[in-house]
């Protein structure tokens, strides 16, 4: 049960890197200018607030109906994404066996779509337990042969050892909740899904609320890159290709893989969600190792930083670093994101919440 993407039109406080990026995009891409203006208009309309409040209440109260809808939507999205990107056609499969790792797996629609495509497939997953507010698993673990589908139910953001931390101070408010085991350590996977979002139903302690989205993304990315096979495919659910942190991630991943972006034409076309499809991932590439190190540091700061040693924001990149990414990747970013921005423009106009 994901958090409704109110940022479809949200003008959140803009950091210096985001402002520099936004100025570049407005100068160089008319479709982005149109989207940026629609977002600004929509944020001021009471109809927009009502639209997202309605979505919020639906998710909060729908229960099984919403979970079933998400399960179906994931499968449809997976099929559409394959038609556009061919991401399920995996090369060089050892013994013709496909090994899939599905992070934040429940309700399991993505894995189910892959299961239907391949006869010889092994699926491993991680998902937040239901008693912690996690989504109900609808993919039947017994639907394949014995041991074919397995899922570990745990909070992926608490995998301390996986993220490079060997000891936790007893002064940390969740000292006893961190996890030392490393799920599926020693295994490798040709396809990895990173589909997690912060859940409305996950009741978080106060100190985690501000940085949970950052912690969740970093945790998924580190685990994914430390399990993916050389030449494998990585699929990541993201928000706003024009947000600085997202642009930075796209740039990083493009340095050790071939990337494409995908957004459904109809389902969720007004929101900021999209998928990064990275093929031929080279996890041992120097750039991949540097990215993993950076994501670990971001998780560490968001988890243990600050005066209370319970989480703090990362340092903001200086202007020169931001401009360096724009100079090297800006044109490619526009090329990748232009179709997504056009889909969102059409979606906002169609729903009448940003006219």
Long-range CB contacts for residues 256-262, cutoff 8 Å, separation at least 24 = 256/281, 256/282, 256/283, 256/285, 256/287, 256/288, 256/291, 257/281, 257/282, 259/336, 260/84, 260/85, 260/336, 261/336, 261/337, 261/339, 261/340, 262/80, 262/81, 262/84, 262/85
Tokens describing residue 272? 């900021």
Predicted model pTM = 0.91
CA dihedral 110, 115, 121, 126 (to 10 degrees): 30
What string of pLDDT tens digits covers the 355 residues of the chain? 343 343 443 444 568 999 999 999 999 999 999 999 998 887 666 666 665 555 655 555 556 778 898 999 999 999 999 999 999 999 878 788 999 999 999 999 999 999 889 888 999 999 999 988 889 999 987 666 677 999 999 999 999 999 999 888 888 888 888 999 999 999 999 999 999 888 877 778 777 888 889 999 999 999 999 999 999 999 999 999 999 999 999 999 999 999 999 999 888 888 899 999 999 999 999 999 999 999 999 999 999 887 666 667 777 788 999 999 999 999 999 999 999 999 999 999 887 765 5
Tell me which residue of 273, 269, 274 sits closest to 350, measured CA to CA: 269
CA pair distance 338, 332, nearest whole angstrom: 10
Taking every pair of C-alpha atoms in the chain, what is the biggest distance, in angstroms? 57
Buried b / exposed e across 191-204, counting CB within 10 Å, b at 16+? Answer: bbbbbbbbbebbee
Q: Which residue has the tokens 């990083």?
A: 252
Could you tell me which residues come within 8 angstroms of residue 57 by beta carbon, excluding any fewer than 6 positions away?
A: none
pLDDT at 9: 38
SS (H, E, C) 269-334: CCCCEEEEEEEEECCCCHHHHHHHHHHHHHHHHHHHCCCCCCCCCCCCCCHHHHHHHHHHHHHHHH
Tell me which residue of 259, 254, 262, 194 sits closest to 222, measured CA to CA: 194
Going 278 to 283 to 284 to 287, the CA torsion angle's sign is positive
Tokens describing residue 213? 């989205």
Buried b / exposed e across 132-152, counting CB within 10 Å, b at 16+? Answer: eebbbbbbeeeeeeeeebebe
Phi-psi region of 12 (alpha: psi -120 to 50; beta: other; left: phi over 0): beta
pLDDT at 144: 64
β-strand partners of 123: 100, 149
- Is residue 64 classed exposed, middle or buried when 0-12, 13-18 and 19+ CB atoms within 10 A define those classes? exposed
pLDDT at 7: 44
For residues 32 and 3, the answer to whether their CB atoms sit within 8 Å is no
For residues 274 and 265, the answer to whether their CB atoms sit within 8 Å is no
CA pair distance 16, 3, nearest whole angstrom: 26
């Amino acid at each position: 049960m994901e958090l409704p993407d109110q940022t479809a039109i949200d003008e959140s406080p803009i950091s210096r890197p985001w402002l520099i990026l936004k100025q570049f995009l407005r100068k160089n891409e008319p479709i982005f200018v149109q989207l940026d203006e629609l977002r600004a208009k929509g944020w001021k309309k009471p109809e927009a607030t009502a639209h997202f409040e309605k979505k919020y209440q639906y998710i909060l109260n729908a229960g099984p109906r919403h979970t079933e809808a998400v399960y179906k939507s994931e499968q449809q999205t997976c099929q559409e994404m394959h038609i556009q990107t061919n991401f399920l056609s995996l090369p060089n499969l050892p013994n013709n066996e496909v090994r899939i790792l599905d992070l934040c797996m429940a309700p399991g629609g993505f894995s189910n779509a892959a299961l239907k495509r391949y006869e010889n497939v092994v699926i491993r997953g991680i998902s937040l337990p239901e008693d912690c507010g996690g989504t109900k698993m609808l993919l039947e673990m017994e639907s394949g042969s014995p041991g074919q589908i397995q899922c570990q139910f745990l909070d992926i953001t608490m995998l301390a050892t996986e993220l490079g931390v060997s000891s936790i101070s007893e002064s940390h408010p969740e000292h006893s909740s961190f996890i030392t085991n490393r799920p599926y350590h020693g295994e490798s996977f040709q396809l990895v899904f990173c589909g997690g979002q912060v859940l409305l139903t996950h009741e978080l302690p106060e100190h985690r609320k501000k940085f949970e989205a950052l912690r969740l993304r970093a945790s998924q990315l580190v685990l994914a890159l430390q399990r993916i096979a050389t030449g494998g495919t990585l699929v990541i659910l993201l928000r706003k290709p024009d947000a600085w942190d997202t642009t930075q991630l796209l740039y990083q991943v493009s340095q050790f893989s071939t990337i494409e972006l995908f957004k459904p034409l109809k389902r969720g076309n007004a929101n900021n969600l999209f998928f990064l499809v990275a093929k031929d991932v080279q996890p041992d590439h120097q750039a991949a190792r540097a990215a993993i190190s950076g994501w670990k540091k971001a998780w560490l700061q968001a988890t243990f930083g600050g005066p209370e040693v319970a989480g703090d924001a990362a340092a903001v990149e200086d202007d020169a670093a931001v401009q360096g990414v724009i100079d090297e990747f800006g044109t490619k970013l526009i090329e990748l994101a232009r179709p997504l921005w056009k889909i969102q423009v059409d979606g906002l106009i169609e729903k009448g919440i940003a006219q």
